[in-house]
Amino acid sequence: MEKVIYNLVFNRKKQLNTEGKALIQVEAYLNKQKKYFSTKVYVKPYQWDPKRKAIKNHPNMDSLNQYLANFISELEHLEFEIVQSGREFSLNDLKEKPDMEPISFSVFMRNEITQSNLKPSTMKNHLSTLLVLSTYKADIGFTDLTFNFLCNFEHYLLDNGYHRNTIAKHMKHLKRYINLAINKDLFDLYRYPFRKYKIKYMESKRTHLTPEELEQLESLDLQGRRTLRKTMDMFLFSCYTGLRFSDIVSITRENFHCIDDKIWLIYSSVKTDVNVRLPLFLLFDGKALPIYERYKDNPWTLFNMPASSNSNVNKQIRRLCKMANIDKKVSFHTARHTNATLLLYNGANITTVQKLLGHKSVRTTEIYSNIMDMTVVRDLSSMTDIK
């Protein structure tokens, strides 16, 4: 009796998926008949060696090639068992797919993160989730992904002091890659663990500065303290404009435009890529303009500050707040919260604030609408005037 000939075939249908990848299949040939088996492994054309029939230039090349070899070995083993039993063998007897995982979920998740088009900051966030998962379990297989796994992972994070919203962030990332595995036929939909598990969020308290506290910072005497002066200017500029730290350190003088003799700041958000147009002469009585004038002749970016300096800037901001007798936990992002809160308090429409902050959805902006007690005082005070 002739033996089945097994070959690896790449991109048999001559078409790539949306990620520019194609499937690797196992071709079984016997008596001028062929049958194909999906390995569930997708790679890009440059990652396939047609001569060696093997994967190349892939971060998990060795493990994937070993998996493909094991896949064929499983088919050969099934063929051998049938022949040894004395039954007449045909390719139709190879209908059962080997019960194997091409790679673990941990490896799959790392591949998807590192080969994605995510922004560097987003990629760093997703890799942090992978790191936390690896501390819980070194190598997670697809069969590990159950409702109980999610519950136990959540308890592990709670026991280790993670904030509820940080846990929610990690769960959201985990859910994303499980969904991706389902779309790539690496995980069965009927086993979807998030069907019963609900991600839990906690309303967080967003620190902001009051107008009085902002004035305390503005009145600090920082003459001769160059580093603190620059940190203060960056922080106040963010209070007046609502820019994130990533945008503050990226803007250049080319982002400032004179329109009808008035200065506008026009930029695309590093985080969301949303285009934002800010009339600096109208925001907070134009307080951002003197800061711009002080730094507009700098080469490269406006403040010449690297993005990696965020933690150092936060330390200096805490020092400044102590000097100004502000007893709050303040970070650079507090400036953005302050901007949104004061705009809303002063009567700005929430959709206007949405555009000024560069939020894609007004729902994101709505988180600020209930965080300032002064708004309640103002509204109730206006009611007492009604006779």
Tell me, yes or no, whether 184 and 318 share the same domain: no
Of 195, 223, 257, which marks where a domain is finished? 195
Q: pLDDT (tens digit, 9 = 90+) per residue, 199-257?
A: 988 766 678 899 999 999 999 999 889 999 999 999 999 999 999 999 999 999 999 99
Hey, what are 320's tokens? 């400044």
CA count, 13 A, side-chain hemisphere, 34: 9
The pTM (predicted TM-score) of the whole model is 0.57
Residue 200 falls inside a structural domain: no
Same domain, 18 and 47: yes
Q: What is the pLDDT along the chain (387 residues), one digit of tens a residue?
A: 688 999 999 999 999 998 899 999 999 998 889 999 998 889 999 999 999 999 998 877 887 888 899 889 888 888 888 888 878 888 888 865 555 556 789 989 998 998 888 878 788 899 999 999 999 999 899 989 999 999 999 999 999 999 998 999 999 999 999 999 888 878 888 899 999 999 988 766 678 899 999 999 999 999 889 999 999 999 999 999 999 999 999 999 999 999 999 999 999 988 888 899 999 999 999 999 999 999 999 888 999 888 768 889 999 999 999 999 999 989 999 999 899 888 888 878 878 888 888 877 777 666 666 554 455 555 566 555 544
The domain containing residue 24 runs over which residues? 5-94
Asked whether residue 205 is assigned to any structural domain, the reply reads no
Name the domain boundary from 94, 125, 145: 94
